Amino acid sequence: MTSADTERTGFLYPFIDADEHDPESLLADLAKSAQAKVHESSALQRSTLDECAELVASAGAQMAERFASGGRMYAFGNGGSSTDAATFAALFAQPITGRPLPAMNLAADQAVVTALGNDVGFELVFSRQIIAHASSRDIAVAMSTSGSSADLMMALGEASRRGLMTIGFAGYEGGQMATSSEVGYCFVVRSQSIHRIQESQALLGYQLWATVQQHLMPAESAPHRRGDTT
Amino acid sequence: MSSVVEGVTDQLAASASAGIPPDMLDGGLARDLADASLSVARRFQAGATMWCIAPQWEPHAHHMAVEFVHPVIMGKRALPAFALTDQDVVAQARSSVRPGDIVIAVAAADDRGVREVMRRIPAWGATSVWIGSGARPPSGAADHVLWIDDTNPLAPATGRFVIMYHLLWELTHVCFEHPGLLTPPPADECTDEVCITCSDEGRLAEVILAPTTAYGDALVRTATGEENIDVTLVAPVTPGDLVLVHAGSAITRLDPEQSR
């Protein structure tokens, strides 16, 4: 019996599981299952990058223009995606290499998030911050797996009306983000697994960051602009 | 070309291969992950809380915590997990971690805060999991070291760490389907009258309160709880010091940063 079979039918035969004392076969199954999932995630990352290559290139170029003209980026999401948005923002703001760029994670301030959630409703926790912080040269990035979270769609709509560049990360078939006119760039990871979607979104974000950095490199003719007098 | 440009160009050249390699778990890592998952499931079953730390990439601490607290698959158990993100992660972990708990870190091997937490795990009676990449921590630095063979310093932002704790969560919940395996095997229990595991030989302890008089006892914390011990051999001690206890006395003080 494979572990998948055991998962589906184990509840019918609890006495079998209760009598199980040697973890060896379970551990072997777990290791094999983990390897299969890594293969799946790796393949999904590759197909996602391939499918989104042109979109990444043009979104990265436009983001770079906005950063170059003084724009900043707001990243946001819910749950695990909010932490992925925070990682994405940190990659821009404090990169180990390359140029640091102004990028904020809109879920970072518990005072602001709870104040908005309590006073005006959770659906407005990000859009109200866009109203407060954003200018028309800025960038709004929403990370989601469903592509349809109400608070993210509200924020993207607000950002779009204010002239921001709007980017959505989605999974499944893209949800509302894929068809909304308020989302300028929508990156869809075509998977039904929230975990696998998030893993591919991380690499998409990394690729977007790398593209922006590439555009913001000084021209090679003038590489020694400062601090290079020796 | 300036060094910054070179650095970024290298990074971009590397980014094509920055993703998750299909063979990432080969060479024993898949088995390490399986072992860690069973161990984590057993601890949760016995009432553990999980404490998540990631000082350099704090969002990973939050992601691990929300993964266990609010599962993405409906019907899976909600489990107690917190992110520890105070600046002094050692102090925050010290007051939070109880015997039987789980401490999980996403951090480089040279992260000072995480190293200090990991050194104390045996005295706190917890189980430790350490996820990272690049140079490995010293052998035995944590109960479960899940190390990815990758020298890209930006690996934490490419999904490689996210998949590690996603899989840890997934496999932990598979273990819950095997109730017979959730209690440690009899070999882990000690019934002999004299055995190395249960004898007083070299148990790690962390000083809670230093003695108030020259020959007074110190209050320390060990895997089995708090106790008063004699520290005249290693005096003076201060709170937070790690000592080895034998037969009610501290016989050695472990210097800061001395590996476990």
Beta carbons of B2 and A224 less than 8 Å apart: yes
Per-residue buried b or exposed e for A38-66, using 16+ beta carbons within 10 Å of the residue's own CB: bbbbbebbeebbeebeebbeebbebbbeb
Domains recognised in chain B with CATH numbers: 22-181 (3.40.50.10490), 203-254 (2.30.30.140)
Higher-confidence residue: A229 or A90?
A90
Q: Which residue has the higher pLDDT, A225 or A79?
A: A79
Nearest by CB to B30, from A35, A91, A223: name it: A35
How deeply is B194 buried, as exposed, middle or buried, from its count of CB atoms within 10 A (0-12, 13-18, 19+)?
exposed
B191 — pLDDT class (breaks 50, 70, 90): low
pLDDT per position as a tens digit, B42-96: 999 999 999 999 999 999 999 999 999 999 998 999 999 999 999 999 999 999 9
A26·B181 Cβ contact <8 A: yes
Is residue A22 within 8 A of residue A45, CB to CB? The reply is no
Q: Which domains, ranges and CATH numbers included, belong to chain A?
A: 38-215 (3.40.50.10490)
Mean per-residue pLDDT for B9-17? 54
Q: Which of B5, B19, B162 sits opposite A198 (nearest CB)?
A: B162
Q: Cβ B38–A207 below 8 Å, yes or no?
A: no
Sheet holding A165-170, edge to edge: A103-105, A73-77, A139-143, A165-170, A185-188
How far away is chain A from the Cα of B88, in angstroms, using its nearest Cα?
19
Q: How confident is the model at residue B186 (pLDDT cuts 50, 70, 90)?
A: low
Closest alpha carbon within chain B to A206: B158
Round to whole Å and give the CA distance between A100 and A92.
Answer: 6
Q: Which residues of B touch A220 (CB under 8 A)?
A: 1, 5
A10 vs A42, more confident: A42
How far is C-alpha B119 from the chain's CA centre?
9
Q: Predicted ipTM? A: 0.86
pLDDT digits (tens, 9 = 90+) for A169-210: 999 999 999 999 999 999 999 999 999 999 999 999 999 999
